[in-house]
Structure 1
Amino acid sequence: METSTESTRGVGPSYGYTLRFPGEPFAKLRERTIEALKREGFGVLTEIDVQETLQKKLGENFRNYVILGACNPQLAHRGLQAELGLGLLLPCNVVVWEEDDGAVVSMLRPDLMFQAARAPALEPIAKEADERIRRAMEHLRSGAPQG
Protein backbone atom coordinates (compact mmCIF):
# COMPACT_ATOMS: atom_id res chain seq x y z
CA MET A 1 0.00 0.00 0.00
CA GLU A 2 1.18 3.45 -0.77
CA THR A 3 1.61 5.67 2.25
CA SER A 4 3.62 8.42 0.60
CA THR A 5 3.27 12.01 1.75
CA GLU A 6 3.10 13.14 -1.87
CA SER A 7 -0.39 14.49 -2.52
CA THR A 8 -0.51 14.77 -6.30
CA ARG A 9 -1.81 12.28 -8.86
CA GLY A 10 -3.74 10.33 -6.25
CA VAL A 11 -0.84 9.21 -4.07
CA GLY A 12 -2.13 9.25 -0.54
CA PRO A 13 -1.05 11.13 2.54
CA SER A 14 1.05 9.55 5.28
CA TYR A 15 -2.00 9.52 7.57
CA GLY A 16 -3.86 7.15 5.27
CA TYR A 17 -3.50 3.79 3.55
CA THR A 18 -3.85 4.34 -0.18
CA LEU A 19 -4.24 2.09 -3.20
CA ARG A 20 -4.45 3.09 -6.86
CA PHE A 21 -6.45 1.01 -9.32
CA PRO A 22 -5.51 1.93 -12.90
CA GLY A 23 -8.32 1.14 -15.30
CA GLU A 24 -10.96 0.63 -12.61
CA PRO A 25 -14.07 2.80 -12.85
CA PHE A 26 -14.77 5.06 -9.88
CA ALA A 27 -18.28 3.65 -9.24
CA LYS A 28 -16.99 0.08 -9.18
CA LEU A 29 -14.21 0.92 -6.71
CA ARG A 30 -16.70 2.76 -4.50
CA GLU A 31 -18.88 -0.36 -4.33
CA ARG A 32 -15.90 -2.68 -3.78
CA THR A 33 -14.67 -0.41 -0.99
CA ILE A 34 -18.01 -0.56 0.83
CA GLU A 35 -17.99 -4.36 0.52
CA ALA A 36 -14.39 -4.64 1.78
CA LEU A 37 -15.29 -2.50 4.80
CA LYS A 38 -18.34 -4.69 5.51
CA ARG A 39 -16.13 -7.79 5.50
CA GLU A 40 -14.22 -6.23 8.40
CA GLY A 41 -17.32 -5.21 10.36
CA PHE A 42 -17.56 -1.58 9.24
CA GLY A 43 -20.76 0.01 8.05
CA VAL A 44 -20.94 3.25 6.10
CA LEU A 45 -22.86 5.75 8.21
CA THR A 46 -22.41 8.74 5.95
CA GLU A 47 -21.51 9.44 2.36
CA ILE A 48 -20.55 12.88 1.12
CA ASP A 49 -20.54 13.35 -2.64
CA VAL A 50 -17.90 16.07 -2.89
CA GLN A 51 -18.42 16.57 -6.63
CA GLU A 52 -22.14 17.24 -6.13
CA THR A 53 -21.59 19.43 -3.07
CA LEU A 54 -18.99 21.66 -4.75
CA GLN A 55 -21.20 22.01 -7.82
CA LYS A 56 -24.25 22.89 -5.75
CA LYS A 57 -22.56 25.23 -3.26
CA LEU A 58 -19.88 26.86 -5.41
CA GLY A 59 -20.82 26.13 -9.01
CA GLU A 60 -17.43 24.41 -9.37
CA ASN A 61 -16.70 21.28 -11.36
CA PHE A 62 -14.72 18.59 -9.57
CA ARG A 63 -13.78 14.98 -10.21
CA ASN A 64 -15.83 12.09 -8.81
CA TYR A 65 -14.89 12.06 -5.13
CA VAL A 66 -16.76 10.61 -2.16
CA ILE A 67 -16.05 10.63 1.55
CA LEU A 68 -17.42 7.58 3.33
CA GLY A 69 -17.87 7.69 7.11
CA ALA A 70 -17.07 4.11 8.17
CA CYS A 71 -17.80 2.76 11.62
CA ASN A 72 -17.38 -0.58 13.36
CA PRO A 73 -20.08 -0.45 16.08
CA GLN A 74 -18.27 -2.78 18.49
CA LEU A 75 -15.01 -0.83 18.29
CA ALA A 76 -16.85 2.50 18.54
CA HIS A 77 -18.73 1.32 21.63
CA ARG A 78 -15.55 0.12 23.34
CA GLY A 79 -13.78 3.35 22.43
CA LEU A 80 -16.57 5.56 23.70
CA GLN A 81 -16.67 3.64 26.97
CA ALA A 82 -12.96 4.36 27.41
CA GLU A 83 -13.08 8.00 26.27
CA LEU A 84 -16.36 9.87 25.69
CA GLY A 85 -14.62 12.58 23.69
CA LEU A 86 -13.60 9.97 21.12
CA GLY A 87 -16.74 10.86 19.20
CA LEU A 88 -14.82 13.83 17.84
CA LEU A 89 -12.64 11.37 15.90
CA LEU A 90 -15.47 9.15 14.63
CA PRO A 91 -16.37 7.84 12.12
CA CYS A 92 -13.23 6.78 10.25
CA ASN A 93 -13.07 8.55 6.91
CA VAL A 94 -12.51 6.65 3.70
CA VAL A 95 -12.22 8.48 0.39
CA VAL A 96 -12.61 7.20 -3.14
CA TRP A 97 -11.73 9.44 -6.06
CA GLU A 98 -11.39 9.29 -9.79
CA GLU A 99 -8.10 9.70 -11.62
CA ASP A 100 -7.55 10.06 -15.36
CA ASP A 101 -6.42 6.45 -15.56
CA GLY A 102 -8.66 4.81 -12.95
CA ALA A 103 -9.61 5.30 -9.32
CA VAL A 104 -7.99 5.59 -5.88
CA VAL A 105 -9.07 4.62 -2.37
CA SER A 106 -7.52 6.03 0.78
CA MET A 107 -8.47 5.04 4.33
CA LEU A 108 -7.57 6.99 7.44
CA ARG A 109 -4.99 5.26 9.64
CA PRO A 110 -6.79 4.61 12.95
CA ASP A 111 -3.49 4.10 14.76
CA LEU A 112 -2.55 7.72 14.05
CA MET A 113 -6.03 9.12 14.58
CA PHE A 114 -6.32 7.59 18.06
CA GLN A 115 -2.94 9.05 19.08
CA ALA A 116 -4.66 12.43 19.26
CA ALA A 117 -6.78 11.19 22.19
CA ARG A 118 -3.71 10.15 24.22
CA ALA A 119 -5.75 7.70 26.27
CA PRO A 120 -3.89 4.45 27.07
CA ALA A 121 -7.20 2.54 27.23
CA LEU A 122 -7.71 3.27 23.52
CA GLU A 123 -4.46 1.64 22.39
CA PRO A 124 -5.82 -1.91 21.92
CA ILE A 125 -8.94 -0.57 20.23
CA ALA A 126 -6.87 1.57 17.88
CA LYS A 127 -4.66 -1.41 17.09
CA GLU A 128 -7.65 -3.59 16.24
CA ALA A 129 -9.25 -0.85 14.15
CA ASP A 130 -5.99 -0.37 12.26
CA GLU A 131 -5.68 -4.12 11.61
CA ARG A 132 -9.25 -4.24 10.29
CA ILE A 133 -8.68 -1.25 7.99
CA ARG A 134 -5.47 -2.84 6.68
CA ARG A 135 -7.34 -6.09 6.00
CA ALA A 136 -10.09 -4.18 4.17
CA MET A 137 -7.38 -2.66 1.98
CA GLU A 138 -5.93 -6.11 1.35
CA HIS A 139 -9.39 -7.36 0.33
CA LEU A 140 -9.45 -4.55 -2.23
CA ARG A 141 -5.94 -5.30 -3.44
CA SER A 142 -6.56 -9.03 -3.81
CA GLY A 143 -9.81 -8.41 -5.65
CA ALA A 144 -8.30 -5.84 -8.03
CA PRO A 145 -9.36 -6.23 -11.64
CA GLN A 146 -6.77 -7.84 -13.85
CA GLY A 147 -5.92 -5.63 -16.77
Structure 2
Amino acid sequence: MEYRVNVCETVPQAVLRMPREVRQGRLGEDVAEGMRDLMATVQRAGLTSIGAPSLTFLEEGPAHETTVVDFRVPVEPAPMLSLRSGAEVVVCAGDLVARTSHRGGYGGLPDAYRALREWMTESGYRASGPPSEVYLVGPDEVTEPRRLITELRIPVLPPPAIGVYVRQRFAETLERVRETLRQRGFSALGEIDMHAVSRRADVEQYLILCLYHPALASRAIASDPPAGLLLPCTVVVRATDGGTRVEAGDPMLYARATGQEALQPIAGEIHRLLTAALDAVRADAGRERPKSHGTAAKGPAEEYAADGP
Protein backbone atom coordinates (compact mmCIF):
# COMPACT_ATOMS: atom_id res chain seq x y z
CA MET A 1 0.00 0.00 0.00
CA GLU A 2 1.26 3.50 -0.83
CA TYR A 3 0.95 6.02 1.99
CA ARG A 4 0.65 9.74 1.29
CA VAL A 5 2.05 11.94 4.03
CA ASN A 6 1.50 15.63 4.77
CA VAL A 7 2.03 18.07 7.61
CA CYS A 8 -0.78 20.05 9.24
CA GLU A 9 -1.42 22.04 12.41
CA THR A 10 -4.02 20.70 14.83
CA VAL A 11 -6.34 23.12 16.63
CA PRO A 12 -6.58 23.52 20.43
CA GLN A 13 -9.47 21.50 21.84
CA ALA A 14 -10.91 20.06 25.04
CA VAL A 15 -10.64 16.27 25.16
CA LEU A 16 -11.76 13.56 27.54
CA ARG A 17 -8.58 11.71 28.49
CA MET A 18 -8.69 8.16 29.86
CA PRO A 19 -5.36 6.33 30.44
CA ARG A 20 -5.25 2.53 30.40
CA GLU A 21 -3.09 -0.39 29.31
CA VAL A 22 -3.34 -2.22 25.99
CA ARG A 23 -1.61 -5.41 24.90
CA GLN A 24 0.60 -5.13 21.85
CA GLY A 25 -0.35 -8.61 20.70
CA ARG A 26 -4.11 -7.97 21.06
CA LEU A 27 -4.28 -4.34 20.05
CA GLY A 28 -7.52 -4.61 18.08
CA GLU A 29 -9.47 -6.16 20.97
CA ASP A 30 -8.09 -3.76 23.57
CA VAL A 31 -8.71 -0.70 21.38
CA ALA A 32 -12.32 -1.75 20.78
CA GLU A 33 -12.86 -2.28 24.52
CA GLY A 34 -11.18 1.03 25.34
CA MET A 35 -13.37 2.87 22.84
CA ARG A 36 -16.51 1.38 24.37
CA ASP A 37 -15.43 2.45 27.87
CA LEU A 38 -14.45 5.90 26.60
CA MET A 39 -17.82 6.55 24.97
CA ALA A 40 -19.67 5.11 27.98
CA THR A 41 -17.79 7.60 30.18
CA VAL A 42 -18.80 10.41 27.82
CA GLN A 43 -22.45 9.49 28.29
CA ARG A 44 -22.26 9.04 32.07
CA ALA A 45 -20.58 12.43 32.48
CA GLY A 46 -23.14 14.21 30.33
CA LEU A 47 -20.48 15.20 27.81
CA THR A 48 -20.98 15.69 24.08
CA SER A 49 -18.33 14.19 21.80
CA ILE A 50 -17.47 16.47 18.87
CA GLY A 51 -14.83 14.49 16.97
CA ALA A 52 -13.24 11.12 16.27
CA PRO A 53 -11.70 9.21 19.21
CA SER A 54 -7.94 8.71 19.32
CA LEU A 55 -5.19 6.87 21.15
CA THR A 56 -1.81 8.31 22.16
CA PHE A 57 1.08 6.02 23.08
CA LEU A 58 2.62 7.25 26.35
CA GLU A 59 5.29 4.57 26.29
CA GLU A 60 6.48 1.81 23.96
CA GLY A 61 7.29 -1.74 24.95
CA PRO A 62 8.02 -5.16 23.42
CA ALA A 63 5.31 -6.73 21.27
CA HIS A 64 4.44 -9.33 23.92
CA GLU A 65 3.96 -6.78 26.74
CA THR A 66 1.37 -4.19 27.67
CA THR A 67 1.86 -0.47 27.12
CA VAL A 68 0.18 2.58 28.64
CA VAL A 69 -1.91 4.71 26.28
CA ASP A 70 -4.32 7.62 26.50
CA PHE A 71 -7.75 7.11 24.94
CA ARG A 72 -9.08 10.54 23.96
CA VAL A 73 -12.13 12.08 22.33
CA PRO A 74 -12.87 15.79 21.69
CA VAL A 75 -15.76 16.98 23.89
CA GLU A 76 -17.73 19.99 25.00
CA PRO A 77 -16.87 20.38 28.73
CA ALA A 78 -19.49 19.48 31.36
CA PRO A 79 -19.37 19.22 35.21
CA MET A 80 -20.65 15.67 35.81
CA LEU A 81 -17.40 13.66 35.44
CA SER A 82 -16.82 11.27 38.36
CA LEU A 83 -13.33 10.94 39.86
CA ARG A 84 -13.86 7.17 40.04
CA SER A 85 -13.94 6.96 36.25
CA GLY A 86 -10.19 7.59 36.07
CA ALA A 87 -10.84 10.02 33.23
CA GLU A 88 -10.42 13.79 33.04
CA VAL A 89 -11.19 16.61 30.65
CA VAL A 90 -8.06 18.49 29.55
CA VAL A 91 -7.38 21.21 26.99
CA CYS A 92 -4.81 20.15 24.38
CA ALA A 93 -2.86 22.88 22.62
CA GLY A 94 -2.56 22.90 18.84
CA ASP A 95 0.44 21.08 17.41
CA LEU A 96 2.30 20.58 14.14
CA VAL A 97 1.94 16.93 13.09
CA ALA A 98 2.99 14.68 10.22
CA ARG A 99 0.13 12.37 9.32
CA THR A 100 -0.96 9.56 7.03
CA SER A 101 -4.02 7.29 6.82
CA HIS A 102 -4.25 3.50 6.90
CA ARG A 103 -7.21 1.52 5.59
CA GLY A 104 -7.62 -1.99 6.92
CA GLY A 105 -6.82 -4.07 9.98
CA TYR A 106 -4.35 -3.08 12.66
CA GLY A 107 -1.90 -5.73 11.49
CA GLY A 108 -0.94 -3.33 8.70
CA LEU A 109 -0.22 -0.36 10.99
CA PRO A 110 3.55 -1.10 11.27
CA ASP A 111 3.87 -0.55 7.50
CA ALA A 112 2.03 2.76 7.80
CA TYR A 113 4.25 3.91 10.67
CA ARG A 114 7.33 2.84 8.71
CA ALA A 115 6.24 4.89 5.68
CA LEU A 116 5.46 7.89 7.90
CA ARG A 117 8.85 7.77 9.63
CA GLU A 118 10.69 7.25 6.33
CA TRP A 119 8.99 10.35 4.95
CA MET A 120 9.98 12.32 8.05
CA THR A 121 13.60 11.16 7.72
CA GLU A 122 13.81 11.98 4.02
CA SER A 123 12.09 15.36 4.53
CA GLY A 124 14.11 16.19 7.64
CA TYR A 125 11.28 16.52 10.17
CA ARG A 126 12.02 15.42 13.74
CA ALA A 127 9.48 13.92 16.13
CA SER A 128 8.64 16.14 19.10
CA GLY A 129 6.24 13.83 20.94
CA PRO A 130 4.62 10.37 21.05
CA PRO A 131 2.55 9.05 18.13
CA SER A 132 -1.25 9.09 18.12
CA GLU A 133 -3.88 7.14 16.22
CA VAL A 134 -7.18 8.80 15.31
CA TYR A 135 -9.91 6.24 14.64
CA LEU A 136 -11.89 7.83 11.81
CA VAL A 137 -13.69 4.51 11.43
CA GLY A 138 -12.97 2.44 14.54
CA PRO A 139 -13.62 -1.09 15.80
CA ASP A 140 -16.64 0.17 17.74
CA GLU A 141 -18.31 1.07 14.42
CA VAL A 142 -17.52 -1.81 12.03
CA THR A 143 -16.76 -5.51 12.40
CA GLU A 144 -14.81 -6.07 9.16
CA PRO A 145 -11.13 -5.08 9.55
CA ARG A 146 -10.89 -3.97 5.90
CA ARG A 147 -13.36 -1.15 6.63
CA LEU A 148 -11.28 0.39 9.42
CA ILE A 149 -9.71 3.81 8.73
CA THR A 150 -6.96 5.01 11.06
CA GLU A 151 -5.06 8.29 10.83
CA LEU A 152 -1.54 8.13 12.25
CA ARG A 153 -0.05 11.34 13.65
CA ILE A 154 3.42 12.18 14.93
CA PRO A 155 4.10 15.66 16.37
CA VAL A 156 7.04 17.31 14.58
CA LEU A 157 9.27 20.33 15.11
CA PRO A 158 8.83 23.31 12.77
CA PRO A 159 11.71 23.34 10.26
CA PRO A 160 14.25 26.20 10.15
CA ALA A 161 15.95 25.21 6.88
CA ILE A 162 15.36 23.99 3.32
CA GLY A 163 16.64 20.61 2.24
CA VAL A 164 16.35 17.34 0.38
CA TYR A 165 17.66 13.81 0.77
CA VAL A 166 18.69 11.86 -2.35
CA ARG A 167 19.82 8.28 -2.78
CA GLN A 168 22.83 9.30 -4.82
CA ARG A 169 26.57 9.37 -4.21
CA PHE A 170 28.09 12.43 -2.59
CA ALA A 171 30.35 13.44 -5.51
CA GLU A 172 27.55 13.26 -8.09
CA THR A 173 25.17 15.21 -5.85
CA LEU A 174 27.75 17.91 -5.09
CA GLU A 175 28.42 18.47 -8.80
CA ARG A 176 24.70 18.80 -9.49
CA VAL A 177 24.18 21.18 -6.53
CA ARG A 178 26.91 23.51 -7.80
CA GLU A 179 25.44 23.51 -11.32
CA THR A 180 21.81 24.11 -10.31
CA LEU A 181 22.76 26.97 -7.99
CA ARG A 182 24.91 28.57 -10.70
CA GLN A 183 22.02 28.32 -13.17
CA ARG A 184 19.84 30.29 -10.75
CA GLY A 185 22.26 33.17 -10.35
CA PHE A 186 24.18 32.20 -7.21
CA SER A 187 27.93 32.85 -7.00
CA ALA A 188 30.38 31.01 -4.76
CA LEU A 189 32.27 32.87 -2.04
CA GLY A 190 34.10 29.79 -0.83
CA GLU A 191 33.90 26.16 0.27
CA ILE A 192 34.86 24.34 3.47
CA ASP A 193 35.63 20.62 3.25
CA MET A 194 34.93 19.39 6.79
CA HIS A 195 36.10 15.87 5.91
CA ALA A 196 39.54 17.22 5.00
CA VAL A 197 39.68 19.80 7.81
CA SER A 198 38.83 17.32 10.58
CA ARG A 199 41.37 14.72 9.38
CA ARG A 200 39.30 12.03 11.08
CA ALA A 201 38.32 8.78 9.38
CA ASP A 202 34.94 8.69 11.14
CA VAL A 203 33.81 12.02 9.63
CA GLU A 204 31.64 11.50 6.54
CA GLN A 205 32.05 13.57 3.38
CA TYR A 206 30.77 17.00 4.39
CA LEU A 207 31.11 20.20 2.35
CA ILE A 208 29.90 23.71 3.27
CA LEU A 209 29.21 26.06 0.35
CA CYS A 210 29.19 29.83 1.01
CA LEU A 211 27.12 31.60 -1.66
CA TYR A 212 25.39 34.85 -2.49
CA HIS A 213 23.10 36.16 -5.23
CA PRO A 214 24.66 39.36 -6.68
CA ALA A 215 21.47 40.91 -8.09
CA LEU A 216 19.36 40.27 -4.99
CA ALA A 217 22.23 41.26 -2.70
CA SER A 218 22.38 44.69 -4.35
CA ARG A 219 18.64 45.18 -3.88
CA ALA A 220 18.82 44.13 -0.23
CA ILE A 221 21.67 46.51 0.63
CA ALA A 222 19.86 49.36 -1.11
CA SER A 223 16.86 48.70 1.14
CA ASP A 224 18.84 48.22 4.35
CA PRO A 225 22.66 48.62 4.41
CA PRO A 226 23.18 46.33 7.48
CA ALA A 227 21.45 43.55 5.49
CA GLY A 228 24.88 42.62 4.14
CA LEU A 229 25.43 40.65 7.35
CA LEU A 230 22.54 38.36 6.41
CA LEU A 231 23.08 37.99 2.67
CA PRO A 232 25.53 35.06 2.38
CA CYS A 233 23.71 31.74 1.90
CA THR A 234 25.08 28.59 3.49
CA VAL A 235 24.44 25.27 1.74
CA VAL A 236 25.63 22.00 3.29
CA VAL A 237 26.13 18.81 1.26
CA ARG A 238 26.81 15.74 3.39
CA ALA A 239 26.88 11.98 2.95
CA THR A 240 24.40 10.14 5.21
CA ASP A 241 22.11 7.11 5.41
CA GLY A 242 23.23 5.52 2.15
CA GLY A 243 22.75 8.73 0.19
CA THR A 244 23.36 12.47 0.39
CA ARG A 245 21.56 15.25 2.23
CA VAL A 246 21.55 18.82 0.93
CA GLU A 247 20.59 21.60 3.35
CA ALA A 248 20.30 25.38 2.99
CA GLY A 249 19.64 28.00 5.65
CA ASP A 250 16.21 29.59 5.17
CA PRO A 251 16.67 33.31 4.37
CA MET A 252 13.08 34.00 5.45
CA LEU A 253 14.02 33.31 9.08
CA TYR A 254 16.89 35.78 8.94
CA ALA A 255 14.72 38.42 7.28
CA ARG A 256 12.05 38.09 9.99
CA ALA A 257 14.74 38.44 12.67
CA THR A 258 15.65 41.93 11.38
CA GLY A 259 12.06 43.17 11.43
CA GLN A 260 12.68 44.97 8.12
CA GLU A 261 9.60 44.61 5.93
CA ALA A 262 11.55 45.69 2.82
CA LEU A 263 13.74 42.58 3.07
CA GLN A 264 10.83 40.12 3.10
CA PRO A 265 10.26 40.03 -0.71
CA ILE A 266 14.00 39.66 -1.37
CA ALA A 267 14.33 36.86 1.17
CA GLY A 268 11.26 35.24 -0.35
CA GLU A 269 12.86 35.30 -3.80
CA ILE A 270 16.10 33.75 -2.48
CA HIS A 271 14.00 31.11 -0.70
CA ARG A 272 12.19 30.33 -3.97
CA LEU A 273 15.46 30.01 -5.91
CA LEU A 274 17.05 27.74 -3.29
CA THR A 275 13.94 25.55 -3.17
CA ALA A 276 13.85 25.28 -6.97
CA ALA A 277 17.54 24.33 -7.06
CA LEU A 278 17.13 21.60 -4.46
CA ASP A 279 13.98 20.31 -6.19
CA ALA A 280 16.03 19.99 -9.39
CA VAL A 281 18.72 18.03 -7.54
CA ARG A 282 16.11 15.60 -6.19
CA ALA A 283 14.38 15.26 -9.57
CA ASP A 284 17.67 14.45 -11.32
CA ALA A 285 18.56 11.84 -8.71
CA GLY A 286 15.10 10.28 -9.05
CA ARG A 287 15.46 9.90 -12.82
CA GLU A 288 18.66 7.93 -12.39
CA ARG A 289 17.09 5.09 -10.39
CA PRO A 290 13.83 3.11 -10.66
CA LYS A 291 10.97 4.20 -8.44
CA SER A 292 10.26 1.99 -5.44
CA HIS A 293 6.76 0.89 -4.49
CA GLY A 294 4.97 0.95 -1.16
CA THR A 295 6.85 3.93 0.24
CA ALA A 296 5.74 7.34 1.34
CA ALA A 297 4.97 9.85 -1.37
CA LYS A 298 7.57 12.61 -1.68
CA GLY A 299 6.71 16.26 -2.21
CA PRO A 300 8.85 19.19 -3.30
CA ALA A 301 11.86 20.39 -1.37
CA GLU A 302 10.76 20.38 2.25
CA GLU A 303 11.71 22.86 4.95
CA TYR A 304 13.26 20.93 7.78
CA ALA A 305 15.55 20.82 10.77
CA ALA A 306 19.19 21.04 9.77
CA ASP A 307 20.28 18.88 12.69
CA GLY A 308 18.26 15.84 11.56
CA PRO A 309 19.81 12.41 10.87
The superposition leaves residues 16-56 of structure 1 with CA deviations (integer Å, 9 ceiling, x where unpaired) of 1121112x11111111101111121112211011111222x
Conserved? CA contact 1:95–1:105, under 8 Å: yes
Is 1:81 matched up with 2:81? no
Conserved? CA contact 1:3–1:15, under 8 Å: no
Provide the C-alpha distance between the structure 2 equivalents of 1:124 and 1:100, rounded to a whole number of angstroms. 36
Structure 2 residue corresponding to 1:16, chosen from 137, 161, 177 = 161
| Number of aligned positions between the proteins | 137
**Change beyond 3 A, Cα 1:81–1:60:** farther
Is 1:25 matched up with 2:166? no
Structure 1 match to 2:125: 4
Q: SS of the residue aligned with 2:247?
A: strand
Pairing 1:36-115 to 2, within 5 Å after superposition: 36-55=180-199, 61-115=202-256
**Change beyond 3 A, Cα 1:81–1:103:** same
Structure 2 match to 1:146: 289
**The structure with more strand, counted as a fraction of residues:** 2
Q: TM-score, normalised to structure 1's length?
A: 0.84
Aligned-residue CA RMSD in angstroms? 1.9
Conserved? CA contact 2:184–2:277, under 8 Å: yes
**The structure with more helix, counted as a fraction of residues:** 1
Provide the C-alpha distance between the structure 1 equivalents of 2:226 and 2:198, rounded to a whole number of angstroms. 30
The superposition leaves residues 53-99 of structure 1 with CA deviations (integer Å, 9 ceiling, x where unpaired) of 222xxx67411101101211001111111122222223110000011
Provide the C-alpha distance between the structure 1 equivalents of 2:124 and 2:228, rounded to a whole number of angstroms. 26
Q: SS of the residue aligned with 1:143?
A: helix
- 2:162 aligned partner, one-letter code: Y
Q: SS of the residue aligned with 1:76?
A: helix
Provide the C-alpha distance between the structure 2 equivalents of 1:79 and 1:5, rounded to a whole number of angstroms. 33
Is 1:129 matched up with 2:273? no
Provide the C-alpha distance between the structure 2 equivalents of 1:89 and 1:53, rounded to a whole number of angstroms. 25
Provide the C-alpha distance between the structure 2 equivalents of 1:5 and 1:74, rounded to a whole number of angstroms. 35
Conserved? CA contact 1:54–1:61, under 8 Å: no
Q: TM-score, normalised to structure 2's length?
A: 0.42
Provide the C-alpha distance between the structure 2 equivalents of 1:76 and 1:3, rounded to a whole number of angstroms. 28
- 1:89 aligned partner, one-letter code: L
Provide the C-alpha distance between the structure 2 equivalents of 1:88 and 1:100, rounded to a whole number of angstroms. 34
The superposition leaves residues 82-125 of structure 1 with CA deviations (integer Å, 9 ceiling, x where unpaired) of 12222222311000001141111011111112212211111111
Conserved? CA contact 1:45–1:70, under 8 Å: yes
Provide the C-alpha distance between the structure 1 equivalents of 2:221 and 2:181, rounded to a whole number of angstroms. 21
Unpaired segments of 5 or more residues in structure 2? 1-121, 128-157, 291-309
Structure of higher RCO (CA pairs closer than 8 Å, 6+ residues apart): 1
Conserved? CA contact 1:3–1:18, under 8 Å: yes
- 1:78 aligned partner, one-letter code: R
